[in-house]
Structure 1
Amino acid sequence: MDKQPVSIFWFRRDLRLDDNAGLYHALKSGKPVLPIFIFDKDILDKLEDKDDARVTFIYETITALDKELHQHGSGLLVIYDTPAHAWSKLLNDYNIAAVYTNHDYEPYANERDDSVAMMLKKHDITFNTYKDQVIFDREEVTKDDGKPYTVYTPYMRKWHQKLTPFYLKAYPNKKHFNNFYQTKTLPLPTLKAMGFGKSDLELPQINYKELIADYAEKRDFPAIKGTTHIGLHLRFGTVSIRELARTAGTFNEKTWLNELVWREFYMMILYHFPHTGDHAFRPEYDRIKWNNDEKKFEAWCKGETGYPLVDAGMRELNATGYMHNRVRMVVASFLSKDLLIDWRWGERYFARKLLDYEMASNVGGWQWSAGSGTDAAPYFRIFNPESQMKKFDPKLEYVKKWVPEYADFSKYPKPIVDHAFARERCLKAFKEALSK
């Protein structure tokens, strides 16, 4: 054991040194700070694709973090193991004074953190977590009676009422970088050693500022570069949420800021209503008799439904790990309403493919599309994929990019379901479930 008392900072969804709440408090603790990252076997072993681009992104990001720490005489201790085994070894190898990290909100993360906190408590070591990936935490924006909101619009209004410059202030971490634990270069496990290969997908860079000014006008048109692709960086904390919110204020771009509010709303919902991870927010919607046709689901996954906008979206997802926000709503509505396939099938497919996958937002978005979530709109809101294409891709630029054979009707598949028929079937199925 290294006898020198150290504070440990545990990187998770906050992969940056600047403006990092938990790291700031660790650096101010008075003890040298040893930064660590755990490649969690409990998560990695469940990933189907061994060239998962998110693993590549994380690996490249922590490699860069390690190099940045070298400039301050320190380094990142990277462990490939389960959290339980990793912390057992850390307790054996180091004289740990305290552990610092940032809140995580997903059900698995809550269980993991509770388990680690109990392990540390047996050694009289405190487990300190801080708000970092949101502007407002789980219980900071509530109804007047203290209960959580279950509808977005009043939550959003209260969110904006509560917002002051105080909440957007950056943590001055740089002032305390001399407090990092001084160590020799620590070897990083390779991707290959963890059973993964490098992904060939192009990973989006942080260049959101140039797109914010016109976001409200351009965001719904998939052929235009009108969205910021910042989701991946938000998911893993390579950019500060406070920086994003400040920038939105600089551009006076409330539409874009409200997308960040949606994210926090869904995080709050998942925290207070953890059953929504795999059950309908409104229990009566779990009574729906889904027509889970595996062949039609496969056609949806491959982008071979005979509906050009749906197919373009799915092919974009499969090829790039991204899908345009407007198109996400269309393909989700098509699966759950036109094909009457359980929204959870689609949610799991998105979880596998999306670079910017975030459980709370993904589950919330899918339940919004299926009509089973917090949204007050009735279940008979069903997107027409043809009219959506005419409205948001009128020149077929997006469709032609991803579905080139659409130009030749002899090569393009016929629709796997008739929309008018599917709409009536959906309405009937939902009415039967909700009338019980």
Structure 2
Amino acid sequence: PGVAGTSRLSPHLHFGEIGPRQVWVAAQGAMAMGEAPHAEARRFLSEVGWREFNHTILFHNPQIQTQSFRPEFDGFGWRRDDAAFKAWTQGRTGYPIVDAGMRELWTTGFMHNRVRMIVASFLIKHLLIDWRQGEAWFWDTLVDADLASNVGNWQWVAGSGADAAPYFRIFNPITQGEKFDPRGVYVRRWVPELASLSDSVLHQPWMAHPSSPSARSYPRPIVEHGAARTRALEAYKSLKGN
């Protein structure tokens, strides 16, 4: 997310300024001409295909705008926690990669795809807050808010959608930050109060020396990762079929 490496085509696809077939043909042509590495171009096209998959699912199942694609999730015990939800929307969860994403979203109307998965997983699985609350927030704030992609991807993370992520896939926001923002370029840009921290503690600032100004000004995690993971696994195991 700290590298400007995405196409930024999603708003233009949503508003019909360019079509997915045009994108597909252009990418295939770039590969044929040797202008695009095949592995990266195929990965890019798979994301275009995922977008069309979500549109197909929504077309045949319009009820998934408000209902779970998998009916067994209808009775899932989501928590109502307004304070935690507000902290998530404001980028004040205490987890730098999550907070950086939410602040980027509020400031620009955009968020890197990997970070979208991280923040969605945090809301759903760490906080056990209904995916519909997160979907509504993204709908209000994303410049590329596309109904099919928004609903489909939130349900994918929740495990309630078509071809969804397994329920036991719970992103660790610390290791995700260390893996995808190892030098802290992204976090330091969007969470500037942590800019002075070393890379070794940037993604877990509570490990910084207590005298550090960053350690005093940045919030403590609103939930402990290990405890939240255990709680989520127990909640998901209560579903039929898991």
The residue aligned with 2:203 is none
Match of 2:163, SS state, is: coil
> After superposition, what is the alpha-carbon deviation per residue over 1:23-80, rounded to whole angstroms, capped at 9, x for unaligned?
xxxxxxxxxxxxxxxxxxxxxxxxxxxxxxxxxxxxxxxxxxxxxxxxxxxxxxxxxx
Instruction: Give the number of the structure with larger relative contact order, counting CA–CA contacts within 8 Å between residues 6 or more apart.
Output: 2
Give the letter aligned to residue 234 of structure 1: L
The residue aligned with 2:208 is none
1:339 is aligned, of 127, 132, 137, to: 127
Residue 368 in 1 paired to residue 156 in 2? yes
Residue 418 in 1 paired to residue 224 in 2? yes
Residue 245 in 1 paired to residue 18 in 2? no
The Cα of 1:240 is off from its aligned counterpart by: 3.2
Distance 1:286 1:314 in 2: 27
The correspondence of residues 32-431 of structure 1 with structure 2, limited to 5 A, is 222-252=1-31, 253-406=41-194, 407=197, 408-431=214-237
The residue aligned with 2:238 is 432
Give the letter aligned to residue 16 of structure 2: G
Distance 2:241 2:12 in 1: 43
TM-score, reference length from structure 1: 0.48
Q: Which runs of 4+ in 1 moved over 3 A?
A: none
Q: Which has the larger radius of gyration?
A: 1
| Structural RMSD (CA) | 1.3
| Residue 316 to residue 376, structure 1, CA distance change in 2 (3 Å) | closer
- By percentage of residues, which structure has more helix? 2
> After superposition, what is the alpha-carbon deviation per residue over 1:267-311, rounded to whole angstroms, capped at 9, x for unaligned?
000011111111111010121101120000000000000000000
The Cα of 1:376 is off from its aligned counterpart by: 4.9
Give the letter aligned to residue 306 of structure 1: G
Distance 2:217 2:130 in 1: 29
The Cα of 1:243 is off from its aligned counterpart by: 2.2
Indicate if the aligned counterparts of 2:92 and 2:219 stay in contact, CA closer than 8 A: yes
Indicate if the aligned counterparts of 2:79 and 2:129 stay in contact, CA closer than 8 A: yes
Give the letter aligned to residue 160 of structure 2: S
Note the residue ranges of structure 2 that are not aligned, 5 or more in a row: 32-40, 198-213
Distance 1:273 1:243 in 2: 26
- By percentage of residues, which structure has more strand? 1
- Taking only the aligned residue pairs, the percentage that are identical comes to 53
The Cα of 1:239 is off from its aligned counterpart by: 1.9
> After superposition, what is the alpha-carbon deviation per residue over 1:244-281, rounded to whole angstroms, capped at 9, x for unaligned?
11111022311111111111100000011111111111
TM-score, reference length from structure 2: 0.86
| Residue 348 to residue 377, structure 1, CA distance change in 2 (3 Å) | closer
Note the residue ranges of structure 1 that are not aligned, 5 or more in a row: 1-221
The Cα of 1:435 is off from its aligned counterpart by: 6.5
Match of 2:217, SS state, is: coil
